Amino acid sequence: MPKEKHKFERIAFVASEVPEAIEAQAALIKRYGETAPTEADAIVALGGDGFMLQTLHRFINDKIPIYGMNRGSVGFLMNDYKEDDLIERLQAAEISRIHPLSMIATDAAGKAHKSLAINEISLFRQRYQAAKLQIAIDGKVRLEELICDGVLVSTPAGSTAYNLSAHGPILPIKSQLLAVTPISPFRPRRWRGALVPNRVHITITVLEDAKRPVSAVADHFETRDVVKVDIEQARAIELFMMFDREHGLEERILTEQFRF
């Protein structure tokens, strides 16, 4: 569990490699001091959305709240960068609790590869031929054969990322759902995906894996030549993301649905 808000005084600052983030880190450390991340009441991540994901993965088992400030390009998961009143902003911030997805990808040699994903787990064709996939929910086959460039399973937190680009639905952050979204489906051509409860176990089996090899990616972690991927929510793991109250993650996701 995150520490009490009135104790957000020991702050750790971590930065991406871009000059703007490094300069901001130095300025904030000079002003607020420096604490080791594992001893901090909060971690301030300076960079873009990609760096925020890296930071969440880095401290995924530490249950320390992470407050991002945008020193990158996109910044959907980040707060605005300001040096003033940082402790007060941390004290007033909303905390969104996030459960990642767990992936067990079995490769052609029978080896199981375990990874966690905060945004999404994606399967992609590795060569020129389309992938041929079978999708089962809690052991029951729901889609016998999907011919496509790939398919992804997205969390609510990740639904505005690659999932949205693949024409998947935006999910409210507090919804108990996962989005299963095809990537360039060829057959069935009109299948646009599904919303499933976040408590289910999803199994994606690769058909004709030798002829149509597939890779599986959990956020930034790739496993190649997979034959089966098992996906479920890692309910025992909680991540804590902090947002300014006037622009919390729930508000951002709601706003995103009305953009054109």
- Tens of pLDDT, residues 182-207: 999 999 988 999 999 999 999 999 99
Q: Do the annotations mark residue 67 as ligand-binding?
A: no
pLDDT the model gives residue 6: 54
Residue carrying the six token digits 């409210």: 172
Q: Do the annotations mark residue 128 as ligand-binding?
A: no
pTM: 0.86
Could you tell me which of 222, 213, 134 has the C-alpha nearest to residue 180?
A: 134
Asked about 49 being catalytic, the answer comes back as: yes
Q: Do the annotations mark residue 163 as ligand-binding?
A: yes
- Tens of pLDDT, residues 17-30: 999 999 999 999 99
Strand partners, 231: 103, 202
In the chain, what are the domains?
A: 5-99+238-256 (3.40.50.10330), 101-233 (2.60.200.30)
Amino acid at site 135: I
The count of residues in the chain is: 260
pLDDT above 70 as % of the chain: 97
Give dist(CA 19, CA 220) in Å, integer: 23
Provide the 8-state DSSP code for 139: T
Per annotation, catalytic residue among 41, 49, 219, 230: 49
Give dist(CA 65, CA 11) in Å, integer: 10
- Tens of pLDDT, residues 221-236: 999 999 999 999 999 9
Residue carrying the six token digits 């998947």: 168
- Tens of pLDDT, residues 75-107: 778 999 999 999 999 999 989 888 999 999 999
Q: Do the annotations mark residue 73 as ligand-binding?
A: no
pLDDT the model gives residue 218: 97
